[in-house]
Structure 1
Amino acid sequence: MNDREAIEAAFFAAGSAIDALTLARLLNKPKKQVITVVRGLIADYAGRESGIEILDLGERYVMQVKPAYADIVRPFAPKELSAPMLRTLSMIAYHQPLVQSDLIDQRGNSAYDHIRELKERGLVEAVPHGRTKLLRTTPLFADYFGLESNDPEVIKQKIVELSRQQSGQSGLNKWLGRRFVGVTPMYESLMGMCGIRDYRVINAYDPTEEELEDLADIYKLVISRGYRERVSKYYDGEIIEVGSTTFGDLIEAMKALENISDPEKVKESTELIEDLEERYVSKALVFSKKVKPATEMVARIVKDLRLGVSAEGVVIAPDYGLSAGGVNVSEGADILVPTHRSLDGTLTERVCSKYDAILTGLKNIQG
């Protein structure tokens, strides 16, 4: 029997990490000799065009799909841990050995089901502790998350390290299974502008029970500027606030997501927006009448169009009527600018509609 082929077959069949000693016993060969064979196999896989790789976890080895192909093959993979179950597992991993009754106090009775399945999967073990149990992770947990050791301190260090990366929570969330960017419906087109595919559209402002579960799968959440406090009641991950009043807002929104975006797609989208902005500025040059913005939002659009401003100018206001302070900002306006309440379409189309409303209004007034 060829040692190299036998080891490769063992890696394929195992579905989890195998240590060098186990391989040595399997082949009835010295451990040192087996390690040499494994290193050659690792180098062979690294040098070929393959979607599979073999990782060295410190004399423990695992064959796995390369990260670049993980999303493609996910539909064919065994059922993943749910987001709520991953949260339960993360608490056990960080605080282990963790008293089961303490975990139930924090996670609720649903954690009993989580513990049962985690035990069935071999990721957690429970040891009797008085009238309750002590929970801790198993070596299979280390294999599952690509760690070199199941030592509690090593695991805790890894969690702390990841929680410090990418604005605090997102690195940890990715490791624990939150794989999607969340986005409110109005900003779905922003995902296309950035070339982001792994996203979920979700109502983050007033989520249902089902939507709360969806939030648990998300490691970044894109919302409208000014809603952070409201959303943070339901979501503990990274929140990115963006605006969509002007073309400049759209460019800033893409910059806020640049670390997870497709650079080529962002470049293409940015050039398109900058070209649109130049065209609107050129159209606005023909108007000599000065304007009077009724709100800060309108003032930003007026500035973008480089229109002249005067206290006696044409009054331009948003169409939403009453402001948060109870003032009717739309009353008496010469030109009304449509806002998100009355607009549909992509973010770019919405911005164009606002600019068009002002230029059309000025054209009608100037004659």
Structure 2
Amino acid sequence: MPLDDEAFFEALDLQRKIEAMLFASAEPIGTQELCERLGAKRKNVHAALDVLVDHYAKRGVVLRKVADRWAFRTADDLKHVLHREAVEQKRLSRAALETLAIIAFHQPVTRAEIEEIRGVSTSKGTLDVLMETGWVRMRGRRRTPGRPVTYGTTVEFLDHFALESIKDLPGLEELKGSGLLDSAVPANFQVPVPDDTSDLTEDEDPLDEDDLFTADDQGGEVSPQQDNGSL
């Protein structure tokens, strides 16, 4: 059913506002945040986003969904044009790449579980590096003796690898071909079909946001940092 003139201009106005907000934002914006900031209904925001996705599909930038957030990104076939503008990044070590892949596919996963899959111990520094990149985060505590911390990926991880959700992760052979996994990965490494891990699972408790935590060197657990009174 065609929109009347008033409804048409309201829809167009909503599209322009969303377009402006996404262009101005340094980070992806969630659908719910768009609704709240614009005072618009979710169905109308979704309709406006669909129009913008189609409008930018063949342009130099495209509108991409990352989890339930939206952002403009360079079209995949034009990334080489901006190659010289990119900041050169230090390559992750083999241990970090394997750990990242295990976390991505097996999340929520504890440090002990990572070590069991890899067949070797995982240093605290490896997990620290992955968290510093913004690709890995501490999710919660496992409801098992010792209450070890569980790890999972972040929205930044999905954004970097152009994934809408972790369900879009590639298979084992694709990982090897892209260099994300070494060809000599342990034989017991499996690539399960990941579930949406935006929420804690039944065997996890949330971290206490009022405390600062640090990963234990041995068990991969977390404990509050002690205040030594220094500035």
TM-score normalised according to structure 2 size: 0.56
Alpha-carbon distance in structure 1 between the residues aligned to 2:18 and 2:78: 23
Alpha-carbon distance in structure 1 between the residues aligned to 2:176 and 2:84: 21
1:122 and 1:235, CA in 2 relative to 1: closer, same or farther beyond 3 A? Answer: closer
1:77 equivalenced with 2:86 (yes/no): yes
Alpha-carbon distance in structure 1 between the residues aligned to 2:90 and 2:18: 29
Letter in 2 for 1:87: E
Q: CA deviation at 1:69?
A: 1.7
Alignment partner of 2:47 out of 36, 48, 51: 36
1:76 and 1:58, CA in 2 relative to 1: closer, same or farther beyond 3 A? Answer: same
- Contact 1:53–1:65 (CA<8 Å) still a contact in 2? yes
Q: Provide, for residues 212-267 of structure 1, a one-character-per-residue CA deviation record: whole Å limited to 9, x for no partner.
A: xxxx57x9xxxxxxxxxxxxxx8549xxxxxxxxxxxxxxxxxxxxxxxxxxxxxx
Q: CA deviation at 1:128?
A: 3.9
1:135 equivalenced with 2:135 (yes/no): no
Three-state SS of the structure 2 residue aligned to 1:136 is strand
Alignment partner of 1:10 out of 21, 35, 40: 21
Three-state SS of the structure 2 residue aligned to 1:142 is helix
1:41 and 1:80, CA in 2 relative to 1: closer, same or farther beyond 3 A? Answer: farther
Alpha-carbon distance in structure 1 between the residues aligned to 2:164 and 2:66: 5
Match for residue 124 of structure 2?
112
1:38 and 1:74, CA in 2 relative to 1: closer, same or farther beyond 3 A? Answer: same
Larger Rg: 1
Which structure's relative contact order is higher, taking Cα pairs within 8 Å and 6+ residues apart?
2
Q: CA deviation at 1:89?
A: 0.9
- Contact 1:118–1:124 (CA<8 Å) still a contact in 2? yes
- Contact 1:16–1:63 (CA<8 Å) still a contact in 2? no
- Contact 1:93–1:137 (CA<8 Å) still a contact in 2? yes
Letter in 2 for 1:74: H
Q: CA deviation at 1:79?
A: 5.5
Alpha-carbon distance in structure 2 between the residues aligned to 1:115 and 1:91: 12
Q: CA RMSD in A?
A: 3.4
Alpha-carbon distance in structure 2 between the residues aligned to 1:35 and 1:87: 37
Q: Provide, for residues 18-57 of structure 1, a one-character-per-residue CA deviation record: whole Å limited to 9, x for no partner.
A: 332121112121122222222222222125xx32111246
Q: CA deviation at 1:97?
A: 1.9
Q: CA deviation at 1:93?
A: 1.1
Q: CA deviation at 1:120?
A: 3.3
Q: CA deviation at 1:149?
A: 3.0
- Contact 1:16–1:143 (CA<8 Å) still a contact in 2? no
Alignment partner of 1:24 out of 15, 32, 35: 35
Identity among equivalent pairs (%)? 24
TM-score normalised according to structure 1 size: 0.38
Moved over 6 A (4+): none
Match for residue 55 of structure 1?
64
1:16 and 1:79, CA in 2 relative to 1: closer, same or farther beyond 3 A? Answer: farther
Aligned length: 165
Match for residue 147 of structure 1?
163
Alpha-carbon distance in structure 2 between the residues aligned to 1:60 and 1:75: 28
Three-state SS of the structure 1 residue aligned to 2:64 is strand
Alpha-carbon distance in structure 2 between the residues aligned to 1:52 and 1:77: 16
Task: List aligned pairs for 1:98-247, cutoff 5 A.
Answer: 98-104=109-115, 106=118, 108-109=121-122, 111-126=123-138, 127-129=140-142, 130=146, 132-150=148-166, 154=167, 158-159=169-170, 162-163=171-172, 169=173, 171-173=174-176, 178=178, 235-236=183-184
Match for residue 313 of structure 1?
none
Match for residue 68 of structure 1?
77
Alpha-carbon distance in structure 2 between the residues aligned to 1:149 and 1:14: 21
Match for residue 202 of structure 2?
none
Structure with greater helix share of residues: 1
